[in-house]
Structures are given as C-alpha cells and as structure tokens.
Amino acid sequence: MAQTCKICGKWLKNKRALIEHVKKNHAEQSLTNSSEFEQSKQMEEAKHIQSHPISSVGIRSIPKDRKIEEFLEFIHTEGWLEIRLIGNKSIPRFYNSVNEILNDLESLKTHNESGFNIYYGILPRKSKPESGGGNKEHVIDNADRLWLDIDVFSVKRPEKYSNLTNEEIKAKVMEKYEEAKRILESSGIHITACVYSGRGFQPIIKLNQKILKEEIEELNRVLIRFLRGHGFKVDNAWDCARILRLPGFYNVKDERKLLAELIELNDKTTDVENVKKLAELFTVEKEAKSTEIKSDVFVNDLGIHLDAIRMVDRKLDELLTVVEHADYPSLSEADMACASRLYYWRFNESQIIEILRNYRYREKLDRDDYINLTLSKINGDRFNPAKNPSLFLKLVKITEDLRKGSMSRFSGKHFKKEGCFNRDVQDVHVLSYFNSISQSILKEYNNLDDVDDMDISKENTSFLDYEEENLDIDIKFNVEYFFNRNKFVAKRLADVIMNQFVFITLNDSEEVLFYNNGVFRPGGESIIKHYCEKYLGEEANNHRVNEVIGHIWRLTYIDRSKFDNNKNLIAVENGVLDLETMELYPHSPKYLLTVKLHVKYDPEADCPEIKKFFSEVLHQDDIPVIEELFGYCLYRDYFIQKAFMFVGEGNNGKSTLISLLREFLGKANVSSKSLQELVEDRFATSELYGKMANLFADIPDKALKNTGIFKMLTGGDMLEAQRKFQHPFKFVNYAKLIFSANKLPETYDETDAFFRRWIIINFPNKFEGDKADKKLIEKLTKPEELSGLLNLALAGLKRLLEKGDFSGSKSTDEIREEYIRMSDPVGAFVLDCVEVASEEWVSKDDFYNSFCEYCRRNKLPTVPKNKIAEKLQRHIKVEDYRPEIEGKRIRAWKGIRLVDIGNGSVQSLTNFDSKEETDSSKDSKEENNRNSSKPIDFKILKDARACELCGKNGANAKVIFNNGSKICHLTCAFAKYPELKNKWSEIIKSKRFDLIDLEEESNRMLECPCGFSTSSKAEFT
C-alpha cells in the first residue's frame, strides 16, 4: 500500500520502503515520529492478539502480515488475484489490488480457524468470473513465472509423520527443498519464491521474460518430469488456473495444523532458455523414467505391468500423461475414462485409486467421496487373454523385457500408432518362459503374421553378454518360424535381431553401427551375421544373410552428419557430460554419440601422480599447454588449428605421455597413423573418422613433400575418405594430431599455413637407470587419477574456449625457425652461419667443410655433398660460380658469405680477477680443472636448444662451451659465472662475434625464459 513521507512529502511504494527512506534521509528528524510509529504499531499488534486468542483447535496467532504483503506484491502484478477458501465448500474471492486483500485478512483468518484452507491463484485473472472460481480462460495470456507443488509427506499416510513434531516435519521438508534447489540451480534454474505448505513446498521460478500461458504449461510439465526423475513426488500442478497455498495461514487438511510460511523471496530470475534445454531432453524421443518394475500396485492379476499396457493402449497412456485431456469436457470425466480403462486391464479397486493419485493427482482425488463416486460408475467387460492370446503374449513379452531392464518405457514409435489399442499384434518373439503357457495360446502364436517394428533395445550390455543371455532363446527358437511355405521371410529374422540391438546404417557408406554402453560402435554387420547363423543354423547361407542385412539397412538409414553433432556432449563412464554446463545426463541412444571416455566424471577428483609426472618431464611453462591439449581432444572441433609434436632424445617421457593420452581417451577412440602415412596413403585418413586423437610415437624423419592433407585434417575442411573395399564417404575431422620424434621430418612446404599449425613441446630431461620408473604408466592410469585428469582437461578446455588459443603461443616465424633447426641441418647452418652478400662468394668445398664442422659441434647429422645444392636452394638463393684462383677455376656459390663463428681458447672462465670466490665459481673451477689439459672452447650464437642451466629452450643468444658439451643462455652464464660478466668487455674485444650484432640484438640477448636478466645494456658494450 502506498505511503507518503510526512517529513519531505515523498511518495513511497509501501511501509517497508517508507521506513528505509526515513532511516536513510531523516534519521535525526524522525526520532519522535519513529517512536510514535513504533508505539502505534505495537498497539495494533496488541489489539490483534486480544481479538485472536489461541482457538480451541490449537491454531496459534498468525505472524506479522508484512511477509504476506511482500509475497502478494510479488504475485499480483496485474488483473485480478483469486483467493479461494476450500473446506466443506469452495468459496472464490477476487481482489483488484493487494490493499484489498490486506483489508480482508481478518476475514480470511477467521475462515482458516473455522477449517478452511486458504489458496491463491498462481497467475492473475484477466477477468472476474460471473460465478465460481477462475479457469484457464480467465487467466492472463502471458506471464513470467513457473511453479511446482512438491509433497514430502502425504495427508493420506499420516503414519509417516505422526511421530514427528511440527518442527521436525518442517526440518525434513526443508532438507528436500534444499536438495531440489541444488538440482534446479545446477541446470541454471533459480527459485525466486517458495512457500512451505505444511507437508511439502511450492517453489516459484520467475523468468527473465513473459511467455504465453500455453508455453508456461508445457515448461511446467518439463520441470515436473525433471524433478520426478530425481525422485521427488511432484503433483501435476502445471495448469495456469492452478491454485497454491497462501503463506501465513494454517494447513487444516487433518488434525495436525501446520503453518504455511514464506521460506524464500529474492530477486533472482531464470533465463527461459535454460528451461527449454531441459525440454529438449524429453522431445527428441520419449525416454524411460525407469526400466525397473515398480511395486505390485502397478501389476495386474495377470502379471502384466502398467507400463507394458501403456505401450499398446494409446488412450490410457495419454490419460496418465495429460491430466486435462482435450477429448473430455471436464477433469472428472477424464478421471472416469482413465479408471474405466484401468478396470478393463484387470486392475483392482485399490490399484486404480493409487494409479489415479500417482499419475493424475490433484487435491480432489484425495477426497474419498469423489473416489468412491468415480469407482461406482465403472462398468463393462475386462480383458480376456483367451479371447486375445496374441495381445496377451505381446504384453507378457514387454513386461518381461521391462523386468530385465532391456527396454525403455514408451520406447518406439510402434506403440503410438493410431488404432493400436485392442488390435491384435502381428507377432511376438517367444522366449523360454513361454513354455509354461497353455497349448491353445502357443497354437495362436504359431499362426501369427509378420512382426511389427518394435523398439526393444538393450543398453549397457556387451556383445558377449547378449550372446550369453540369449543362448537359451536361440536354441529353443523354432527355425520354421522364419519360413512361410518354405519361403524364407527375411523381415522376421531381421526384427528378431533388431529387438535385441539398436542398429543404425550410415546412408553414404552403408556401414552398420550398433548401440552399446552409451555409444554407437562399428561392427553391426558382424553381429547380424552371427545371429543369422545362430537362428538359421543349417538353413543359413550368404543370400539369406544378405537379405536380412539389406532389410536392416533399409529400416535404419541415417545421415552421418547426425552423429556427434552436439560438440558439448561427450559420453563418460557414468553418463553423458555436457562440457558447457557440466551437467551429467543418463546414457541414451538419442544423443547419437560414437565416442566415450572410460573415465568416471567426479568433479572432486584429483590426480597427484599425473601432476608430478608433468612437472618432471615438462618445462613449467608447458604444463598448462599439455592440460589444454587433453581438453582440446575432448572437443569435437578444430576451432584452433594446431597439431602437436613432442621432441627430445629417448627416455625423456614423450612416449609415456602419449600412452597416457591413449589410456585417457580410450584405445577405441584413437588412431595411430604416422604423419607421412596421413599425407601419402589414401586410406589412412578414414582411420581418423570418429576418433578423438591420432597418436603416433617416434615418427620417421622421412621428408614431407605434400602437406595438403595435413592442412585439411587440422583446418576443419570436408574430406573424402575411403576404407578398403567400401564406399567413400565425407567427413570433417576432429581427431587431434599428436606425434613424437627425435628428429622432426624435413618439409618442402615453406608456407605460414604449415608452420603456424605446429606446437612443439620439448622434453628436456632423461630418465635412465634408477630414475626410470618401470611401473609409471600403471600409477598414472588408475581410475581415480584419470578422473582427476579429466578435471584438469576440462579446466584446460575452458581456458581454450575463453582465450581462443593455447597458453604461451609463439609467432609463426618463431615456430618456423624452431622447426627448421630441429628438422634440417642445412637450414640450421644457413640460419646461424650464412649471410646474404650479393657480390661475395664461397667455395663449395669450404662451404661443405664448414657445414660438417657445424654439424659435428651441434651433434647434427650431415648431408651428402651431392645433396647440399638442392637443400641450400630451398633456404637461400645462390648461383653457381666459377672464379679463377691462382690460375685454376674452382666451384663456388655466389651471393653468400660464411660467418666466422669463432673459437675462444682460455684456461678457465673463472680465472678472471675477483674479490670473492662464490660457490658457483668454485663449482666451475672444479669442473674446468678436470678439463685443464685442454682449453675451453666457446662460441656465441643464437640457438634453439634447451639451456642446461635453466632448462628452457628458445632461439635466444647462447654460450656454447667445449664444442657443444655445454650450452646455456647468455644471462644464465653470467649468473653461473659472475667473472664472465665482469670481464665481458675483454672477451668481446679479443674475439670476433660477427653473428651477433650487440647493438641490434642486445635486448633479445638479455631476455631469458628462466628469469635472469642483466641490469643494463651498457654492460655489454
């Protein structure tokens, strides 16, 4: 109710807003007024208590009305608000404003004390009915809220709570409320308001936008199914005319009076798209809520389960699914129709009552007089299996499959066909238990016609389990069934096999996949052939087997693009994980997944052994890159066009990391083709289809002459692939290419498009002798370690998706130089020792001798002299030149000159004068004393190898000692050998370092990944 500030005259929405306004703006001036206000308020409360003493039925005084007012303001946004009083009769009241309701509270409380329950219409009414309560046509056309009505205790089962105090009942309800709240919030659905109803709770979800009331009802149904799937007893309170319990009044449905209270009211809103995402889970195909047989209340006197009956009785299924059925003018008539159908299907009176209350619940069904009236009107015949044996056999088969857990409730379009009710089925597949059925029924079975296409699929059972479980069935199945007048009927056998497996045929290649353990796998044709042989025995031949395969082909065609098309879904050991929301769904063939990790998703899992392994074999900066690589493999898209190359000498962890990747992703989810095979073998690319990664350790150093396929595989391009003796097909690769090598293969491709696709990971450490852990891979692949690794991978994938690139990415030029140095000795020599000089020349003998010396010092393989010209021309343009020297013509290259890399000869780098001898200099002296018989050679050049002092690589300036026996960054050398830094000017004066221009590259030389740096550039000049 609107209020006016008496101090400043400002208009405010309600009393609460007035109090806050006075406290904030008129604290000092309002002391007197505030005191008077409080006194007045206390007097009003005292009068209220005097006029409402504790009644004879034990109702305590109603709490302060402020919460009721806030709740009503939240509920009533427009139109009319309906308050309905339900006791020995129903009394609807309509209010045009919250103020009108507040003025009528005393009357409502009086009725509450007299045994009336007080309810409100969850949605405002756009018009006031001429008589009676509001129905759907009176409700506003669109609104911004959804709601649920959840029971924890039932008034029909007071024994469940009779020994609990009111406080204990509320405590248990609050526990369930918090559980439901967590479940909803995990799907991005937030409860804005919630009322504790006495034996349950009624949450309200405010949406971020208004939607039509028809859509509200549909989304309410989605929320009901969602929470029922989590074990909550949720009433069918989806309709827009629904009334819910008003807080501040007592629940007087039985002698236990429980106060309905507002337990939640906040400003949170829910994106309507989050609720629609849940709806999508139920609209792809109707899936099972449970494959287990429920309590006996759902099994009739013939042993047939209600779910089996629903599959053949379309009308009953609709009546149990939709409370407000369009074919019936009123809910009471729909209840009557449902009860009559249950009676026909041989359920007894108590079963019918329980089924109605479970599937069509509303408060009216709790009234015994209504239930008795409904049951008294039932008449008609009951189902007789002797008159309809084929339908009976079908129901027996379905019930048995449900009991075994081999069939989803509501699975298969067959059961939704028009006219399915009471019509004879065309076939039932007799199992071993049918031996106990009377001969008359078995005779009827033998006369059945062709089989219907029935979707009875086994989930979470391996191929061997199928074979073992069906062995008895196979032996007892009469082979004559598959023939009609000595003519083989392929459809019958095809349907028998399809009842045990879910098959899908790819329409481009006609490859048959079968569903197993959450994913579709290749090899379906082998299963079909196996069961043809089992069922037909000596009657099996190639022609008949091919007929069965062809029949299954035609029934199960699907486009290849339908598979794995939701990049955010991946099957794991315990469900289907959404990589975007981190929600876990049950396995289902509807997701059309072909890839599954044999790793359990546990968001709390850790992997200490794997983290230790990473820290031992990788540079610190490369650890997040590898975590991101694991996550990158989980995502079925090449949104970052990168391939990985692990490099380093043997026994350094490369192969172990690849083995860990293989175990993490699953051997069935990876291919193993070398880089050379992928670009040369036309069948090799087909092996990558449906794989998460291609892993190959120690690829050969054979040169790459054609890299077009490599670029397509890593670029998200459509490829045409072919398996031997099969039709070609097209696909977009998402298998990440990961290789290891001691030496990178040389490439003829000099384009940026090739080099920028590589991330090269150096493995700097060796593990030999005692350092090598022979059981390391066993430690790394324990289930709990892999679950923890999955969490690392998910975190890495999140970083990739946010940043769009891997951590510490290098430029294309840096990758080019690094790749050339590791793959091409001639290219490395050109980078370090050759400069362009258009008017100069170098004899070919001198060039080759210098090249060989360079390779010896850097431990690189040499190249035959007759191959030098070809390789040199790829890196630098030179001309054949025949200068005359001392009267002789020699062979030379024109346009280049060799850089004098220089050799230094000093006894020890630590023999320079110094006032204080450090530990590092002592170590250096001892090391150099051992080598005192020969001088220490050193040179300065840019080199990409790892520094032996800090472990980092990169093409920074390096000091190389003793012809390559030790290599380190310039700044690392200064830190290790302080005297070298102090006497740098002497060294640079005495030696030529033509390769390094200190003026131009001093900044680059001073950068070091290990963190050492010098104080100023001036120290080097």
Percent of the chain with pLDDT over 90: 35
If you count them, how many residues does the chain have?
1021
Looking up tokens 């977009």, which residue turns up? 732
Is the same domain home to 829 and 706?
A: no
Q: Is the pLDDT of residue 428 over 70?
A: no
Q: Is the pLDDT of residue 911 over 60?
A: no
* pLDDT band at residue 15 under the 50/70/90 scheme: low
Q: Is the pLDDT of residue 1016 over 50?
A: no
Is the same domain home to 766 and 641?
A: yes
* pLDDT band at residue 663 under the 50/70/90 scheme: very high
Is the same domain home to 893 and 776?
A: no
pLDDT of residue 618: 92
Decide if 665 contacts 599 (C-beta within 8 A). no
Who has greater pLDDT, 171 or 973? 171
Q: Is the pLDDT of residue 43 over 60?
A: no
Q: Is the pLDDT of residue 995 over 70?
A: no
Q: Is the pLDDT of residue 630 over 80?
A: yes
Decide if 609 contacts 792 (C-beta within 8 A). no
Backbone φ and ψ of 343, nearest 5°: -65, -45
Determine the structural domain holding residue 140 and report its residue range. 66-283
Mean pLDDT over residues 45-54, rounded? Answer: 41
Domain count, the chain: 6
Q: Is the pLDDT of residue 726 over 60?
A: yes
In the sheet that holds 243-245, the strands lie side by side as 90-95, 81-86, 117-121, 243-245
pLDDT of residue 966: 65
* pLDDT band at residue 225 under the 50/70/90 scheme: confident
Is the same domain home to 497 and 627?
A: no
Is the same domain home to 619 and 746?
A: yes
Q: Is the pLDDT of residue 650 over 80?
A: no
pLDDT of residue 309: 92
- Distances 688 to 517, 775, 797 between C-alpha atoms, Å: 21, 30, 21
Percent of the chain with pLDDT over 70: 73
Q: Which of 787-796, 923-932, 949-958 has the lowest mean pLDDT?
A: 923-932
pLDDT of residue 366: 77
Is the same domain home to 536 and 464?
A: yes
pLDDT of residue 979: 56
Mean pLDDT over residues 571-592, rounded? Answer: 92
Is the same domain home to 850 and 734?
A: no
Among 819, 835, 863, the domain boundary falls at 819
Q: Is the pLDDT of residue 292 over 90?
A: no
pLDDT of residue 29: 53
Is the same domain home to 110 and 26?
A: no
Is the same domain home to 813 and 844?
A: no
CATH code, domain with 166: 3.90.920.10
Q: Is the pLDDT of residue 821 over 60?
A: yes
Mean pLDDT over residues 903-913, rounded? Answer: 28
Digit-coded pLDDT (tens) for 472-509:
333 335 687 788 888 999 998 998 898 888 999 998 88
pLDDT of residue 517: 86
Digit-coded pLDDT (tens) for 186-216:
889 999 999 999 999 999 999 999 999 889 9
Is the same domain home to 121 and 177?
A: yes
Instruction: Kindly report the number of other CB atoms within 10 A of residue 300's CB atom.
Output: 21
* pLDDT band at residue 974 under the 50/70/90 scheme: low
Q: Is the pLDDT of residue 920 over 50?
A: no
Mean pLDDT over residues 4-20, rounded? Answer: 66
pLDDT of residue 688: 92
Q: Is the pLDDT of residue 174 over 50?
A: yes
pLDDT of residue 65: 63
Q: Is the pLDDT of residue 937 over 70?
A: no
DSSP one-letter code for 515: E
Is residue 811 in a domain? yes
Decide if 61 contacts 52 (C-beta within 8 A). yes
Digit-coded pLDDT (tens) for 235-263:
888 888 889 999 999 998 877 889 999 99
Is the same domain home to 891 and 924?
A: no
Mean pLDDT over residues 558-574, rounded? Answer: 91
Continuous H helices in 166-235: 166-185, 213-228
Among 819, 852, 879, the domain boundary falls at 819
Look up residue 2 and give its two tokens. Answer: 């609107």
Q: How far apart are CA 649 and CA 828, in angstroms?
A: 18
Mean pLDDT over residues 870-889, rounded? Answer: 89
Q: At what angle do helices 368-376 and 349-359 cross, to 10 degrees?
A: 120
CATH code, domain with 631: 3.40.50
- What is the four-CA torsion angle of 468, 471, 474, 477, rounded to 10 degrees? -130
pLDDT of residue 21: 73
Q: Is the pLDDT of residue 928 over 50?
A: no
Is the same domain home to 122 and 197?
A: yes
* pLDDT band at residue 376 under the 50/70/90 scheme: confident
Q: Which of 104, 263, 63 is nearest to 178 (CA)?
A: 263
Q: Is the pLDDT of residue 964 over 70?
A: no
Look up residue 941 and give its two tokens. Answer: 């050049």
Look up residue 426 and give its two tokens. Answer: 């065309």
Report which secondary-structure segment, H or E, holds 678. Answer: helix 675-680
- Distances 673 to 249, 647, 691, 726, 980 between C-alpha atoms, Å: 72, 17, 12, 20, 49
Is residue 789 in a domain? yes
Q: Across all residues in the chain, what is the average pLDDT?
A: 77
Is residue 763 in a domain? yes
Among 249, 283, 317, the domain boundary falls at 283
Decide if 878 contacts 895 (C-beta within 8 A). yes
pLDDT of residue 792: 96
* pLDDT band at residue 145 under the 50/70/90 scheme: very high
Q: How far apart are CA 402 and CA 112, in angstroms?
A: 48
pLDDT of residue 561: 86
Decide if 732 contacts 719 (C-beta within 8 A). yes
